[in-house]
Amino acid sequence: MDAAHTLDFPRLLEAAEAAARATAGQGRVADYIPALAEADPESFGMAVATVDGELYGVGDWRRPFSVQSISKLFTLALALSHGGDELWRGVGREPSGNPFNSLVQLESEHGIPRNPFINAGALVVTDRLLSLTGDAAGAVREFLRRESGNDQLDTDAAVAASEAAHGHRNAALAHFIASHDNLRNPVEDVLEHYYAHCAIATSCRDLVLAGSFLARYGVRTDGSRLMTRSEAKRVNSVLLTCGTYDAAGEFAYRVGLPGKSGVGGGILAIIPGRAAVCAWGPRLDRAGNSVAAVAALDSLTTLSGYSVF
C-alpha cells in the first residue's frame, strides 16, 4: 500500500492552515500589476491530490486566483513534450540569484536567460511553445482544463490587460532577447501569449490536479504520457533549484520540495511518487513568494516527513 494512505491529510491540512494564519499581516499583496492589488490579503487555501486519486482541501481551496508565474511550469512541460531538449539551446537551467524580472544577466550572457522560470526565460519558452503549437496561451489553458476537469477555467482578461499596460520591463526583456536572435516570433505576439497564460484564473484544486503529472513521473490524468520519467525528473529538478526565484535555497531548506510560485500568491509543489500540493495566500515576501503558502507547505512537510531530502 502506498505510504500516502497512512497519512491523515485532513489533519495535516488543518495544521498547515493554522501555520499560514499565524503569518497574518506579514508581507504585501502584489501591486505592480494593479489588478492583483484587489486580492483579499487574508485569503488562504490549500489542496492535496495524491497519485492514488484522493483529493483534499482546506480554506479557500476552490477559490480562483491569478496563476501568474505558476503557468511557467506548464509552458515548460508542454514545450518539452512537443519539442524535446532543443528548448535548452535558448534558455539555461541555473538559479539566477537576481529578481525574477531582472535584466542584469541578459547582457553578459548574450540574451540567453538563466532559467525558464524567471520572466526572461519564460518569454523564451512561450516563444518556443507558440512556434510549436500556434497558440501558446491556448495550449496552456487546454491542458489545465483537461487535467483539472474544469472547462470554465480561462484567462482573466482584466488581469491580462493590466499586465500588458504595465509590462514595460517585460517588453524590455523581450526586445533584448530578440536583439540576440533568441525569439522566433514577433515580440508583440510573444508578450500577448505570455500575459494571457500568466493571467489564467485557477484554484488550488485545479492546480493540484493539473500538476499531478509530475507526481506521477510524467503520466497525465487519462493515463497517457506527457513526458518520460526522466524528463519529469528533470523538470522537478529545475523546479527545486529555480522555481521560487532567488529564494529557492530558502524554500528548499524550509519545504524540501520542487515548487513553483507566482505573485498571485500561489505555490504548487510536487511530492514525487506521492502527491501534488498547492497553497495560496496573496501576501508576498520580498522575493515574490507567498508568506502564508510557504508557512503552510513547511508545516505539511515537517509533520508528514514528505520531502525529497
CB 291 within 8 A of CB 26: yes
Q: Which three cell numbers stand for residue 40?
A: 483579499
Q: Which three cell numbers stand for residue 115?
A: 532559467
Q: Which residues contact 224 (CB under 8 A, 6 or more apart)?
A: none
Please state the domain count of the chain: 1
**Any domain includes 246:** yes
pLDDT of 84 reads 79
pLDDT of 188 reads 98
Cα–Cα dist 167/151, whole Å: 29
Q: Which domain holds residue 54?
A: 3-304
> What are the pLDDT tens digits along the chain (309 aa)?
344 446 899 999 999 999 999 999 999 999 888 888 989 999 999 999 999 999 999 999 999 999 999 999 999 999 999 987 899 999 999 988 776 767 778 888 889 999 999 999 999 999 999 999 999 999 999 999 999 999 999 999 999 999 999 999 999 999 999 999 999 999 999 999 999 999 999 999 999 999 999 999 999 999 999 999 999 999 999 999 999 988 999 999 999 999 999 999 999 999 999 999 999 999 999 999 999 999 999 999 999 999 999
The CATH number of residue 204's host domain is: 3.40.710.10
Query: Is the Cα torsion angle 121, 308, 66, 292 positive or negative in sign?
Result: negative
**Any domain includes 309:** no
pLDDT of 2 reads 46
Which residue from 79, 68, 77, 2 is spatially nearest to 33, judged by alpha carbons?
A: 68
Cell numbers 523546479 correspond to what residue? 239
pLDDT of 101 reads 66
Q: Which three cell numbers stand for residue 137?
A: 496561451
CB atoms near residue 10 (< 10 Å): 12
Alpha helices in the chain (DSSP H): 9-21, 71-83, 104-108, 119-133, 136-148, 157-165, 168-179, 187-198, 204-215, 229-242, 248-254, 291-304
pLDDT of 3 reads 44
Cell numbers 509590462 correspond to what residue? 167
Cell numbers 482541501 correspond to what residue? 57
**Any domain includes 134:** yes
